[in-house]
Amino acid sequence: MPYARRLAFVKENGGTISFDPNIRKEMLKIREMSQAFEYILDYTDFFLPSDGELDYFGLSKSRDEEKIVARLHKRGIAHVIIKRGARGASYYSKDEQHHVAGYPVKVVDPTGAGDCFGATFVSLFLAGYSVPDALAHANAAGSLAISARGPMEGTSTLAQIKELMRQQN
């Protein structure tokens, strides 16, 4: 199956697509890269940019986060989750908005923190957790990820995430 057809196949068969762009502005100077990101956004259910990545997509000349999020919703993206590092994360759907603070930890290595955050949020949300609970767990997972050196060493179990949350609440 051609690569460009795979996203449509997932959607046509009831799948969910999350997109964490991990973009660098230099990448968007490459026309094919910019086009690929636009194509992926057309199929995205959960969009997980960092707060610094929103304006890279040419969605708005404005830096007004709510206007940018409204444009993302207009193009069909149901869930926009903005990662803010130590400052926590924000969630926007057409019907609700939430912000959850981060968990203060000593930063050892930030590699993989966004991946841990995204995987935790999407999996717990799809498992039925409320948005604020899924965000809080995702923030804790990201905090645990930056507490260890290496891209996989900071991954955590749900029990470890809950323990960090218990300790810091």
pLDDT band at 62 (very low <50, low <70, confident <90, very high): low
Domain count for the chain, please give it. 1
Lowest model confidence (mean pLDDT) among 29-38, 50-59, 118-127, 153-162: 50-59
pLDDT tens-place string over residues 92-106: 999 999 999 999 888
Count CB atoms within 10 A of the CB of residue 64. 11
pLDDT tens-place string over residues 125-155: 999 999 999 999 999 999 999 888 877 777 8
> Using an 8 Å Cβ cutoff, are 49 and 114 in contact?
no
CATH number at residue 66: 3.40.1190.20
Count CB atoms within 10 A of the CB of residue 156. 20
- 64 is an active site residue: no
Rounded Cα gap, residues 10 and 27, in angstroms? 26
pLDDT tens-place string over residues 29-39: 888 888 888 88
- The residues with which 19 forms a beta bridge, in sequence order, are 47
Q: What is the pLDDT of residue 3?
A: 67
Q: Residue 1: pLDDT above 70?
A: no
pLDDT tens-place string over residues 73-84: 999 999 999 999
SS3 99: strand
Domain that holds residue 114: 3-168
Query: Of the residues 51, 64, 115, 133, which is catalytic?
Result: 115
Dump strand ranges (E) for 33-126: 46-47, 79-83, 89-92, 97-100
Report the predicted TM-score, pTM, of the whole model to 2 decimal places. 0.89
Q: What is the pLDDT of residue 27?
A: 81
